[in-house]
Structure 1
Amino acid sequence: MNYKKNKKFNSSIFALFFVFLGLVSCYDNGYEEFVPPTGNVNDIQPSTLFTTSTSADDTMSIVFRSYSTDAASYLWDFGDGTTSSEANPDYKYTNGGEYKVKLTTTSSDGLIAVDSATVAPVFVDFNFTSIDSKVTFENLTSGAKSLVWNFGDGETLTWDSEEDTELDSDFNPSHIYKTADIFEATLTVTNFLDAEVSVSKNIEGLVLSTVPDFTFDVNGLTVQFTDASLLATTHSWDFGDGTTSTEVSPLHTFPAEATYDVTLTTTNEAGVSKSETKAVPVGAVKPTFKAIVQNGTADDFQGVTGDNADAWDMTPGKTVVDDVAGEIDSPYRALWNNTALNAYIDGAFGTNEQPGSSSDGSYVNGEKTRAVKLSNDSRRLYQLVEVEAGVVYSFTIDTRSEAEGINTEVFILNNEITTEEDINTDPANNSNVDAYFDITNDFNSSKGSSSENTFTTTTFTFKATSNIVVIYARALKAVDSSNEVFIDNIDIITPGF
C-alpha cells in the first residue's frame, strides 16, 4: 500500500517539472530582455559649478576645478579671449588683472548649464639700480589694484589704481637712503580680489655721498627754490639766466618768461661734488584754486542716461534725474546757457543737438564705463569752466571713432562765442582761442572686444588768458551712427592741485 503511494507521487513531480520547463520556454521566446534607460530621461536641468584657486607655484596661474552634474563636454572662457575644453584646466594668464571666467557644460542629452566667477591673477616683482645712495626701482608688477613700497628704512610709499596710473612716480619710485647699510625693500601688491602678494630684495652696495635735489615754486617771474639734498655741506646754484647763488634755498627773480635749466651742485664733507639739473617754467601765475570740469568721466546721472550728457550741452536741461534723489534741479543750468550759439548751429546745420550718451566708454579694470558721443555734424561738447588768467593748465581727453579718418577738434576758448565763423579760420591763431588741437581719433575694427581699449588719450597745455575757459569740441565728419565719435575722461589739471 505504501509502496504504490510513493510511486504515484513521484510521477506527479515529473509531470510538474515538464510543465514548468514549458512555461519558461514560452517566456524566453515571447519577450526581449529588459535594458535600463540611460541619460537624462526626465529632462532634469543639470547644474554646473566650479572652484578657482591660485597656483602655489605661480600667482599668474589659476587652478579651475569643475563640480558639474551630467557634463558630457566643457567650454571654459577665461575672460582674456582664450578658451579650453578640458574638464579641469590649469590656466596661466599672460597679463595680471581682473577677469570674468565662464564655464558652459553640455549634458549627454544636450542640456546646457553655465557658471561664472571672477579671478585676479597677479605678477609681482621688481628690479632696481643704484647710484651712490639713490636707488631707482623698476616695478615689473602686472594686475595690481594697489601696492605698498617698504624701503626698509622706515619709509613707505603707496599707489592705488583707482587714483593713479602706472606712469606715476609712485609706481616706479626712486628712493634716497641716508646710510650705506643693507636694507630689505619689500613690494606688497593687492590684487583685484584683495589678496596680497609680497616680494622682498636686499639693497646693498650703497655708497654714501652727496645727493643734490631741490623743489621749486613758481609765481610769475619769481621762483622759490627749496633744497632737498642729502649730505651737502655747500651749495652752488646756476639759474640758467647768467646768475648764480650759494644760498641753501634761494628766492630768485628771472628776467623774462621762459623755461630755464637750473642746476644745483652740492659738495659733501669729503669734497665729492654732484649736480642735478631741472627745467623750470617761469612766468606762469601760481593758481589759488583747482579748475573743476563737470562730469568729465560721463558717469553722473545714469538713472536717465540722456542726463548723462547734459553737462556738455550748451543749453542744459532744467532738471536731471539722480539715481537716489530722483528728479532734481540741474547743477549745470545756472553755470552756462548759450542760446545764441545754439541758434547759430541750428541755422548753419539745419538742427542742433546735445552730445549723446553711451555705455561704450573707456575701460577701467577691464570693464566699460560710460561716455558721451558725437554722431551728427551739429553736435558739440560745450562746458564753461572757471580758471585763473595767467595759469598754465594741462588738458586731457580720451577719444575713439567708429571709422577711420574721423577727427575731433578741441578748442579751449577764452570767452563764450555766439558763432563759429571766427574760429573756423585759423583756429590755432585766433584771439578767442587759448588752445586748439585736432585729434586723430583711435580706430580699431576689434573695438567691441573686452580685451581692447581703443581710446586715444591726448594731453596738451594751455595758458589761460581770462578767468573762464570754454571746453568746445566737435567732429564734423561724425554724421551718423556708423562713424560716431566717443569721448571720455575730459579734465583740466591745475598745477599743484
Structure 2
Amino acid sequence: MGSHIVTGNTFKNCGIGIRLIDDTATIYNNYFYNNINLQIEDAAFCTLNTTKTAGENIIDGPNIAGNYWATPSGDGFSQTHMDTNGDGIAEEAYQIAEGSIDYLPLVTPRTEPEPVLPTANFKTNTTSGNAPLSVLFTDLSKDTTGWNWNFGDGATSTKKNPIHTYSAIGSYTVNLTVSNLNGTDSETADITVLEKEEEENESENEGNESDNNILPTANFTVNKTSGHYPLTVLFTDRSQNATGRSWDVNNDGIEDSNESSFVYTYSSRGTYEAKLTAINANSTDTETTTITVMRKSSG
C-alpha cells in the first residue's frame, strides 16, 4: 500500500475517473467529468483537497483547493452549486463517500456582468428664434432611468421631454444629465434667443400679423372617447401654427408621443385626461379631452 498525490489531471468520459483500492491518496485540483468520478474500495482512504492557496486552478479559477466534479448529465456537484463570494469554491463541502469529503470543491468562477452605463442624447425642435422662445426638448438617451435638465437660464426640469420658454435674449447652453444605477452621462446643446426685429416699414405690415406674433393653437381629434379595456384610441393632431407637439394621454406627466398621429392602448379602467401641447418658436398651447375606460364586459 502506498500514498499518492494526484493533481492537475483531467478525467473525462472515462466511465470511472479514479478507482482507489486498498491505498491512500491526496487528490486535488483535478477535473472530473464522468458518470462515476471516484470509486473507493476496501481500506482505501483519500484526501480530496489541499489548503486553499491563491493561484490559477484547473478551471482557471483564482484558488487551488479541491477538485471540479462534473457529470455528462449536468448534475455534478460543481455544476449545481454556487460560488457566492467569487473565490471559485463552492459554499458547501462535497461528501462522495463515508470519510471521503472534498471540503473545497471547485466551481466555475462567478463573473460579474459589465455595468451598463447611460448614454445621454437629445434633440430640440428649434435652436434659435426671437424672444419669447419656446423649445421642446426630446430625450434620445439610452439605458436611462433619470433625467436632469439645466436650461442655462436658472431653470431646471426632471421630466423626460420638457418644454421650456426663454423670455430673455441671449445664448444658453442646455445640459442634460441622465443617470441609472451604474452612473451618469451628460450632453449639451446651444440655444440662441434673439431680439424681435423692429418693423422698418409699418405700413407694409399694416393689417398683416408678423410671424413673431403667430401663436400655436392646439387641437386634436380622437376616434373614440370611451370603451372597455383594452381600449385602443387613435389621436390625430389638428393644431394650427405649430412646429412641434407633445402628447401626454394617460395622466402620468410623461410624453407618450411627439408624432402628428399615433395610437395608444389603455389597459386599465379609469378616466384619463389626454393632453396635447402644441409648440412653435413663440409660445405653446394645450388642448385636452377625456377618455373613459370601463371594465371589460363579462359577456
Normalised by the length of structure 1, the TM-score is: 0.24
> Which protein has the bigger strand share?
2
- Find the structure with the greater CA-based Rg: 1
Normalised by the length of structure 2, the TM-score is: 0.38
Give the structure, 1 or 2, with the largest relative contact order (CA under 8 Å, sep 6 or more): 2
